[in-house]
Amino acid sequence: MAFADDIKSAVEAEDYDSLLQLFPYARFLGMECKGFGDEYVFVLPCRESNLGNPTLPALHGGVISGFMEMSAMIHLMLAMQTTKVPKIVDISIDYIRAGYHRDSYVRCQITRQGRRVANVNVVAWQANRKQPIATARAHFLID
């Protein structure tokens, strides 16, 4: 799949929703993306379908990890303006605190980018950026 035109038009128009719509799982989660210069913040809106524990209520851990992985992949595509979807090699997630039934946010940072592999750090939070609900390290094959 080539996304070069979609990525280029999304960056130029600063409208990332059309790009997110190309990914079925991002659509399923209801992901959004806000661009602030060369930084992107991904948003997971509060939805009943993302709950894992309705008693608390808290987000499903798989939803949090899927949101973080998709955010890292799309961030990498936007930063590199690549024509290919990066393939996940592995991801390591540290769950720090419960993700409650409210909007969640993710910020990604590329820590290393080689010719074939890129490493991305991911931080997810809710009400306070200084109190993350989870962090992750993801490695992608980019060639």
Q: Write the CB contacts of 76 (distance below 8 Å, at least 6 apart in sequence).
A: 82, 86, 108, 110, 118, 120, 140, 142
What confidence category does residue 115 fall into, taking pLDDT thresholds of 50, 70 and 90? confident
Indicate if the pLDDT at residue 117 is higher than 80. yes
What confidence category does residue 35 fall into, taking pLDDT thresholds of 50, 70 and 90? confident
What confidence category does residue 111 fall into, taking pLDDT thresholds of 50, 70 and 90? very high
Task: Please tell me the least confidently modeled range out of 4-8, 38-42, 71-75, 117-121.
Answer: 4-8
* In the chain, domain spans: 4-141
Which of 62, 73, 58, 67 has its CA nearest to residue 26? 67
Indicate if the pLDDT at residue 4 is higher than 70. no
Instruction: Assess if CATH 3.40.250.10 describes domain 4-141.
Output: no
Return mean pLDDT, the chain: 89
Average pLDDT over residues 96-108: 95
19-39 b/e with 16+ CB inside 10 Å = b? Answer: bbeebeebeebebbbeeeeee
